[in-house]
Structure 1
Amino acid sequence: MKKSIFRKFLFCLCMVISSLGVYAQEQRRTVNGAVTDEGGKALERVSVLVSGTSVSTLTNAAGFFTVTLPPGKDVLEFTYVGAAKKIVKATGDTLHVVMSFEDKKLDEIVVIGYGTKTKKDMTGSAVSISSKQFNPGLVGSSEQLISGKSSGVQIMTNGGSPTAGSTIRIRGGASLSASNSPLVVLDGVPLETGGISGNSSNFLSMINPNDIESITVLKDAASTAIYGSRASNGVLMITTKKGKGDQLKLNFSSVVTLQQSKKVADMMSPSQFREVINAAGTDAQKALLGSSNTDWQKQVFKNAMGTDNNLGLTGKIAKAVPFRASLGYYNQDGNLQTDKTRRFTGSLVVTPSFFDKHLNLTFNLKGAANNNRFANTDAIWSSVAFNPTQAVYSGKSAFGGFYESLDNSGVPATGANRNPVGLLEQETRKSDVYRSIGNFDADYRFHFLPDLKAHVTLGYDYSKGEGSVWIPASSANGYNVGGSNNEYSQTLKNKLFTGYLNYSKNIGIHKFDATAGYDYQHWSAKTPAITYYNEKGVLQSTSKATDERHVLLSYYGRVNYTLFSKYMITGTVRRDGTSRFSPENRWGTFPSVAVAWNVIDENFLKNSKVLSNLKLRASYGVTGQQDGIGNYSYMSVYQQGNKYAQYRFGDEYLYVYRPSVYVYDLKWETTKAFNYGLDFGFLNNRISGSAEYYTRKTYDLLANVSVPAGTNFDQTATTNVGNIESHGFEFQLNTTPISSKDFKLDVNFNATNQYTKVTNITLVQGATTVGTYAGPAVAGRGIQILTPGYQPNMFYVYKQVYDAAGKPLEGVYADLNHDGVINESDLYRYHSPAATWMLGFNTQATYKKWSAGFTMRANLGNYVYNNTKMSLSAWETVQYVDAALNNLHKDYLNTGFKTRQYYSDYYVENASFLRMDNMSVAYNLGKVVKHVNMRIGAIAQNVFTITKYTGQDPEVTNGYESAFYPRPRTYSININLEF
């Protein structure tokens, strides 16, 4: 009996051991294999990863690999530089894997208007820049992420203030007086151009840059015509991040910065100023010299701290619904004292799918709150011009204790510069701005016809800005009016409905993709009546309430046809109707057509060992313009006159209503453009890029011009007048010169050449005129001019004459018309503020866990009028009023000018420059504690600028520099944690 039991036990034990062996053999096995390219060549150092684990290996010189699969794992991932990722299920013990070298970039999805496309199928000119390529560092506004990254795109910050914003130009813009800013589309919602009270110059700053996944730039008319009336100046398509992955992931990033202040202008030191005044000044002027030595620019500027912190959570709700939530906090002091901004942001994106992914929904909500403190930027000019021999404080209680130039009655002298420190510390200018942007997308692919889908977007953009300005009566700046205590507010609303059908079908060698849709968009801007009081509550003035709105209705369609995956044609048409024009001119039609040929897919190139991509593109399109003209420019609007224009009726004075200027037959400004493109790639696209050439003509320009006396209710009116044309060349080159297991180097370069010419700018056909003055006013007229046959906004100046030593002769100009008299007939058009060439250069290197990179930009052929130098380097500028002296620019020591030479080309300077925008280095520490990965880095921004320009900054808006708020040099450290 015992023997029988023992035998049974031994038999069971053997069975268990045998089963365990079989189980272990089934769960743990070794896979051998080889990896080759499509031609059978063995590939060395291919990464072989067991999916879902950290188990990996590399192929040897013969392309062989061996890997042991952990229990329950049988999927392998093969990756190799330049090849498409390969995922293979290891059903047996040996594998032969073939890697495809079709460019992965050509399969990338690009967001376009009302849909997406692969790069390979693109017929128009579009560049997509992902978050991995964005500029690093403290970024206050979204557009700064892509500065220098794409040819044909110029992004220029408007100054060093954290609330300054940027000027964005795609191919230089297509208009003169109307808007030249591109249309911005955020997750399918077109945003209104401009800004809101309290944040007027930096509206895009209320979109958290950390929430952005990619920015696509649509440049040619074939790409932009689907947006019709708003697309003449290109389109920026901003796509924000969505939820992904099955597991919850928490990401935290923080950037801390130090911004180093820079000088505004090269002014005389206190000792130099005393020497000049004592040598050439009157006794009265010498008496105004003080005993102090004050660097006023150092008094008003400081080094500033800033930080940007972001927390993001991604994953799935109930393991089924992808989501992403984020919070952000941005805080940046300006280099100018009392200048600062804070931003709080939050976002939530939920993307559920139903009916086996036939119905995809997106709920997208973003919110931001900005809290701004604005410095009085008059202090910048005052810090440049204020008497450097006087102290900041007077030692008296009057005017806040600040030194001020007083007249004989002991009050601040009219016309004298105010104490720059007092202008900052005695004034409080604040604003609070709130913005919420949301959209609901429903994308349904019909069950009975899967090739057909319907898409609906409901979107909104709501903003409210409110602020206040408080200037005490005790300050010199507020003394004459008893101070100021004012508040203001504004509300903007933007509502959108989009609905379209899309049909996509492959039939053998044919591929069809058709879209047809309808848009409704409604904007409104409401500003309540404002009453302005001084500090004591005495009424100073009033501003009427405004409630403006406009509507855009649109019908559009697009058809794409591809033959043999090689020959492509795209046709687009959009019809827009806007309430900004009269019923007769309300509707505009904007068509486009584009063709492309994937030459690389032809039999004679398909097996090329050198050439890996070659595509030819051509397009023609028409786009429109209706921004920048107001909402009621075609209507005769009557407004109540002021109290000085009342009508006497008996013993009573009545307010009258006055008609505003209007032009009833206003119509669309229209741009017609051709584009020719070449996309190329060599050596498995280790070298790739594109070249573009475009021509563009704009008709019926919307411009504000002088009108004949008696024909309207003002001296100038916005009307359709004139034409301009432009052409340009763009080149983009992306290279990977080094790629190995441990080291990779990417080097990218882009170049843009563009030229614009005015062809007509007059209401009267055949009229002879020198042109229309434009640009900032200097001594009563614009320093620039618009003239048919010339570039827009050329400087209109005299040709300076110099002596044998190269010193400019005061008041001596060239007699260009040789009539023996120097007058306005000798003015000439001298250069343009627009650069002839714009260059961008960026590189990224990775070595094991290290990464480093930099971005540089250059402008060539751009010129700037140095108004700061002109206005402060003549003897007459040393004293405007008896009670005050003004500092002199050091250039006075070179010229000795007694009077200002307003229109001398001496002050129009070559402002070509090379600027290193940023450089960065980072180290990936990997897993520092359980489930926590860490990455740290350091960044420098605005590292250096090389230029011959003698002013503060060669990159200024409109080519005019006058006490420009200097862009700081920024040093940052950053940390990124992933849980």
Structure 2
Amino acid sequence: MFAQQTITGIVTESAGNNGLPGVGIIIKGSTVGTSTDFDGNYTLDNVKVGDILVFSYMGFNTQEITVGSSATINVTLQENSQTLDEVVIIGYGTTTVKDATGSIASIKSQDLNKGAIVTPDQMLTGKVAGVTVISDGGAPGAGSTIRIRGGSSLTASNSPLFVIDGVPVDSDGIDGVSNPLSTINPNDIDSYTILKDASATAIYGSRASNGVIIITTKRGTSNGFKATYTANVSVSQNSRTVDALSTEQFRDYVNTYGTASDIALLGDASTDWQDEIFQLGVGTDHNLSLQGGNEKFTLRGSIGYTNQTGTILTSKFERATYSIGGTTKAFDDHLKIDLNANLALINNRFADTGAISSAISMDPTKPVYDSSSPYGGYWQWLQSNGNPIAVGAPKNPVATLQQQHNTAYATRSIGNVQFDYKMHFLPELRANLNLGYDISSSEGSDNTYNSANENSPELAKLGSERTYEQQKTNLLWDFYLNYATDLESINSSIDVMAGYSYQNFENKGSSVDDIQDPSITQYFDFNNVLNLQSFFGRVKYMYADKYLLTVTYRRDGSSRFVGDNKWGNFPSAAFAWKIYEEDFMANAESISNLKLRLSWGITGQQDIGPYYPAIAQYLGSTETAQYQFGNSFVSTYRAEPFNTTLKWEETTTYNLGIDFGFWDDFLTGSVDAYYRETVDLLNFIPFPGGSSLSNAGNANIGSMENKGLEVSLIVNPIRKDDLNLDIAFNASYNDTEITKLTTNYDPDYEGVETGGISGGVGNTIQRHTVGYAPSTFFVYEQVYDSNNKPIEGVYVDRNNDGEITIADKYRLENPTADYTFGLSASLVYKNWDFNMSWRANVGNYVYNNVDSNLGFELQLLNSAFPDVISNGVENVLESGFVNGGAERYLSDYYIEDASFIKLDNVSIGYRFIRPEDKKSQWALSLSGQNLLIITDYTGLDPEVNGGIDYNIYPRPITYMLGLNLTF
């Protein structure tokens, strides 16, 4: 054990397998060491078995090797700058991390969120600074609201542009599939690239004001055949439900505050209605992929199947996916052809989420079933004649779910074929042709039978039936020329690209309502077309591998506009300085990367919903609105509102960024500061009477500014052959302010109402106002007593005029978080791996519409409906509110700080490897999602898109057991 020996060997670099001179070798914990000679050879004396040799060399990852019985130890060092050479997908081309001039984030599949991921958007949650992902409830297959650096528009779309394998896709769902990304199998995704600043996005011009997310699917490999099968089973359970009064609390409340007739309405049952409508969700997922190839041809194909039931009765999501991707080379590798095709078949059954509010307000002393009920055997509130009580009575939520059959079947296929030809006579010149498509269709029905939603048993048995169908086609034709060459005489390189893009969208469909009753059956159909055409170009220039300049220009045309307003111009410029390449940094061994980035650019927006907002149109009447002339009925036509002055909304962005790497890439990251200004806001505003065909419509009025700071850090404190730890942290600050909403300055203009709420008639809780963030809450200031209990109907007279009017309302906070944080850790020890992801929002506020609409006495005991008693939420016990009028709904009492910390994902796995065939392995994993929420918010979930919390489908806790086979 104490014997000493001499160790010899050679140290090589991985890229060319060449010997590395000057590599430092030291016995860990001592001063004994040596270095390699010119050819990479070394000799080290006085080494004992069990000593740890540390091999270090600038620009390469340090390795530690434990000495065994062998006297020869050869080591291959990996370049620590390999991440800088990583290829990043950008618009109409690629670049490397070290040569990128814009604000770009790239995430590979192994770094994305793990667990029971049904839709691709869930993989990005909390992973990228400045990118927020808020799921739209807990329904299986539900979509998410994704924002990059906040939003740059008011009423136009704030969603980023999605580009899948080179095809810009429609970000809107189709009938029956609300989430367009649910048609993509997450297992097929290889990487995400997020383009954030205008320098990176302006090449897409149109639709790029809110950033671009490029999704690249997996490809075949040239190193032989590989097959992978993954499967998992998951269970989901709601961790929280709305705090409705329990049966005992409800009885006590009615007995205390109710009249004799109210008390007489109490039943003998004890029903937890939320427990009756919620269930344990179960999901399964299976995926098989086959890939292989050689230097000339690679191919990958996959099949996937997902089946998931929701945590509310009757909700279900089922999906089958098929994908194939191949690459081939011809003509001495001058021609490269990429082919990709993805197909998804989706079956959805939707649950009526209105049953959730019914479950809260339904009398818990009533049973679920009533054998004498003519409405399918479900207990309902009925009049003395046996008809349902139409107004003021909640419906049996179990009946609402079970008696409605709302289903949809959809197909969607996205694909492209791309030809990239390197000219034989001039290899530096390439021609690229990309032909892509995104085609989807859906059909569905929404039928209800024997429901108490009808006014009589006869109508209930007749029921209601509706069918619909829709087809959407998106065809793409892109062509560009690219010339790239080194200019050795001036120590430079140049890359020039110019092209043309044509994209055509068609959306058509029809629906038939009330088909069960021919006397009231109505037919609707539509057919809309949107065309986008663009000319674009980019120049990249690099001098001495230190100074980089990128200039882009795009000219976009949209059929949404007319005349000279059809076209918009979107330029950008960016400069980057690789400081770490300068001579004065040669001795800065602790710095592996240091790059400064500056950028400016203009992007556009035209996605305001209507396809023809600037064109005169006429709307034909339905059959029930025809005009009678004698015995003849004539259809009438109504002029639709339009605005010929509509034009592109424009967003100008300035970005300052710095990328860095320290201490052999122990710490890497970036810091970005940005400022955005949007002018000619595409806004839906009120029109003066008589000035248009409508009292409101679309117009280019207003401006908005947006500024923020983003920090991304990755720490790699442990890097060994059998142990590796990565910790990633990101933080963002964002501030958005409306700077103009009228053509002329008007200090008395209160702004545009928005944020409709449940309760009262036509109430809104938010306003777009100059000087404030969009959707800022506009409320009365509640007055409290000495015990900090709100005094009903008493509000602060803020203007001191002796009365409470709308002039006393004030603006209080907004639903968008000021600060967002993400933290993830990945630990690999031998065959074990562990991953964990945390996320936090600070400064987001929510209007608790559940409490405001279901937390006052007249909700439970209303004399206007003497034959009904309803349940409410526990807030009625805290506030003591009886009614309070319309002002109560608009009280700041219901505005709550919804800042939170969430543990999004935890997973642990183990790989079983066959020693004789390390390519064949299988792995087991256990994971959990949405495991922990820390917040002061009293509602169901603090993460509310838009800031108004009402009738949310709960986001459940999900546990998953997974299996992965590779051979």
TM-score (norm 1): 0.90
Question: 929, 937, 953: which one pairs with 1:965?
Answer: 953
Matched, 1:887 2:874: no
* 1:216-255 correspondence to structure 2 within 5 Å: 216-255=193-232
Describe the superposition over 1:690-732 as per-residue Cα deviations: whole angstroms up to 9, x where unpaired: 0000000101111111101111222210111111111000000
Matched, 1:774 2:758: no
Contact preservation (8 Å) 2:11, 2:23: no
Contact preservation (8 Å) 1:228, 1:623: yes
Contact preservation (8 Å) 1:263, 1:297: no
Contact preservation (8 Å) 1:418, 1:477: no
1:462 is matched with 439
Describe the superposition over 1:249-278 as per-residue Cα deviations: whole angstroms up to 9, x where unpaired: 110001110101234311110011001101
Describe the superposition over 1:432-476 as per-residue Cα deviations: whole angstroms up to 9, x where unpaired: 000111100111111211111111100011100100111114554
The alpha-carbon distance between structure 1 residues 854 and 477, as it changes in their structure 2 partners (threshold 3 A), is farther
Contact preservation (8 Å) 1:43, 1:63: no
1:103 CA drift (Å): 1.6
1:439 is matched with 416
1:268 is matched with 245
1:921 is matched with 908
Consecutive unaligned residues of structure 1, counting only runs of 5 or more, are: 1-29, 46-57, 67-77, 87-92
1:822 CA drift (Å): 1.4
Contact preservation (8 Å) 2:388, 2:455: no
Equivalents in 1 of 2:373, 2:102: separation in Å? 68
Equivalents in 1 of 2:58, 2:189: separation in Å? 27
* 1:114-125 correspondence to structure 2 within 5 Å: 114-125=92-103
Matched, 1:952 2:940: yes
Q: Read off the aligned partner of 2:266 and give its amino acid letter.
A: L
* 1:131-280 correspondence to structure 2 within 5 Å: 131-199=109-177, 201-280=178-257
1:964 CA drift (Å): 0.9
The alpha-carbon distance between structure 1 residues 488 and 822, as it changes in their structure 2 partners (threshold 3 A), is same
Equivalents in 1 of 2:345, 2:57: separation in Å? 45
Percent of aligned positions that are identical: 41
Matched, 1:632 2:615: no
SS at match of 1:422: helix
Equivalents in 2 of 1:255, 1:744: separation in Å? 26
Matched, 1:687 2:667: yes
The alpha-carbon distance between structure 1 residues 245 and 62, as it changes in their structure 2 partners (threshold 3 A), is farther
1:69 is matched with none
Consecutive unaligned residues of structure 2, counting only runs of 5 or more, are: 1-6, 13-18, 29-40, 50-54, 64-70
1:655 CA drift (Å): 2.2
Equivalents in 1 of 2:220, 2:687: separation in Å? 57
Question: 532, 538, 551: which one pairs with 2:513?
Answer: 532
2:687 is matched with 707
Matched, 1:309 2:316: no
Matched, 1:588 2:576: no
Matched, 1:392 2:361: no
1:82 CA drift (Å): 7.3
Contact preservation (8 Å) 1:473, 1:484: no
* 1:255-654 correspondence to structure 2 within 5 Å: 255-316=232-293, 320-415=296-391, 416-473=393-450, 475-476=452-453, 480=459, 482-508=462-488, 509-528=491-510, 530-533=511-514, 535=516, 537-642=517-622, 645-650=625-630, 652-654=632-634
Segment drifting more, 125-134 vs 813-822 = 813-822
Q: Which runs of 4+ in 1 moved over 6 A?
A: 58-66, 78-82, 93-98, 928-931
Contact preservation (8 Å) 2:334, 2:421: yes
1:584 CA drift (Å): 2.0
The alpha-carbon distance between structure 1 residues 850 and 285, as it changes in their structure 2 partners (threshold 3 A), is same
Segment drifting more, 239-248 vs 292-301 = 239-248
Equivalents in 2 of 1:31, 1:506: separation in Å? 42
The alpha-carbon distance between structure 1 residues 589 and 277, as it changes in their structure 2 partners (threshold 3 A), is same
1:742 is matched with 722
Contact preservation (8 Å) 1:264, 1:964: no
Q: Read off the aligned partner of 1:506 and give its amino acid letter.
A: D
Contact preservation (8 Å) 1:872, 1:888: yes
SS at match of 1:400: coil
Q: Considering only CA atoms, is the larger Rg found in Structure 1 or Structure 2? A: 1
Q: Read off the aligned partner of 2:362 and give its amino acid letter.
A: F
Q: Read off the aligned partner of 2:108 and give its amino acid letter.
A: S
SS at match of 2:530: strand
Q: Read off the aligned partner of 1:903 and give its amino acid letter.
A: L
Describe the superposition over 1:723-759 as per-residue Cα deviations: whole angstroms up to 9, x where unpaired: 1111000000000112223321111100000000011
Equivalents in 2 of 1:918, 1:969: separation in Å? 10
Equivalents in 2 of 1:690, 1:922: separation in Å? 30
Describe the superposition over 1:276-295 as per-residue Cα deviations: whole angstroms up to 9, x where unpaired: 10111011211211100000
Equivalents in 2 of 1:971, 1:339: separation in Å? 19
1:397 CA drift (Å): 4.4
Equivalents in 1 of 2:228, 2:433: separation in Å? 32
1:410 CA drift (Å): 1.0
1:184 CA drift (Å): 0.1
1:630 CA drift (Å): 1.4
Equivalents in 1 of 2:404, 2:139: separation in Å? 17
2:898 is matched with 911
1:70 is matched with none
1:40 CA drift (Å): 3.5
SS at match of 2:520: strand
Q: Read off the aligned partner of 2:120 and give its amino acid letter.
A: S
SS at match of 1:627: coil
1:316 CA drift (Å): 2.1
Segment drifting more, 137-146 vs 342-351 = 137-146
The alpha-carbon distance between structure 1 residues 830 and 600, as it changes in their structure 2 partners (threshold 3 A), is same
Question: 781, 784, 788: which one pairs with 2:770?
Answer: 788
Matched, 1:668 2:655: no
Contact preservation (8 Å) 2:705, 2:738: yes
Equivalents in 2 of 1:157, 1:840: separation in Å? 16
Matched, 1:801 2:783: yes
SS at match of 2:206: helix
Q: Read off the aligned partner of 1:978 and give its amino acid letter.
A: T
1:684 CA drift (Å): 1.3
Contact preservation (8 Å) 1:384, 1:963: no
Q: Read off the aligned partner of 1:946 and give its amino acid letter.
A: I
Equivalents in 2 of 1:295, 1:402: separation in Å? 15
1:63 CA drift (Å): 13
SS at match of 2:137: coil
Contact preservation (8 Å) 1:693, 1:729: yes
Equivalents in 1 of 2:963, 2:27: separation in Å? 35
Equivalents in 2 of 1:929, 1:465: separation in Å? 50
TM-score (norm 2): 0.91
1:321 CA drift (Å): 2.0
SS at match of 1:120: helix
Equivalents in 2 of 1:82, 1:967: separation in Å? 46
1:644 CA drift (Å): 6.2
Describe the superposition over 1:527-560 as per-residue Cα deviations: whole angstroms up to 9, x where unpaired: 13x332254x434342431110011110000000
2:734 is matched with 754
2:15 is matched with none
1:629 CA drift (Å): 3.3
SS at match of 2:24: coil
Matched, 1:678 2:666: no
